[in-house]
Homo-oligomer: A and B are copies of this chain.
Amino acid sequence: MPQTNPFHSLVPRKLTDSELARSIRLNIEAELDAINLYAAHLDATDNEEAKAILRHVMDEEREHAALFWQLIARLDPEQAQHDREASQKYRLITTGASHEEVEAVSEGGAEAAEVELPKRLTVGSLRK
């Protein structure tokens, strides 16, 4: 017999850096869940006004997900490193490369990736 918790969002104390990162990851989950929710509703209705509003709002949730993803890259540099390598690994995996070839990206491949995506690193340079 579950029931509504009237006090679910009380702030217990300031967050540590690691806890803040966990909070932002949770926010990405919330945005992705909202995108899924609105996408499902879009598939299930022909009401044009509803579709227009759903499309508009859903597009901004995509933007939010992307912005929180940037914030995570700032708070969790190891995630940022994986983001830089992901495009190359993705290509390798989907074209049948072995696990070892994929893992090799982390070393030399990462340098190559940094060369390929220099502007993306401006996020990192903001940190200074």
Residues of A participating in the B interface, judged by any CB pair closer than 8 Å? 1-41, 43-50, 52-54, 56-57, 59-60, 62-71, 74-76, 78-79, 82-83, 85-87, 89-91, 93-94, 96, 99-100, 102-104, 106-107, 113, 116-120, 122-123, 126
Provide 26 A-B residue pairs closer than 8 Å at the C-beta atoms, listed in order of the A residue: A1-B4, A1-B26, A3-B4, A3-B8, A3-B36, A9-B26, A9-B37, A11-B19, A11-B43, A14-B44, A17-B47, A19-B43, A23-B44, A24-B41, A26-B37, A27-B34, A27-B41, A31-B34, A52-B94, A52-B96, A53-B67, A71-B90, A87-B120, A91-B123, A99-B106, A120-B120
Contact for A6 among B28, B40, B68, B120, CB less than 8 A: B40
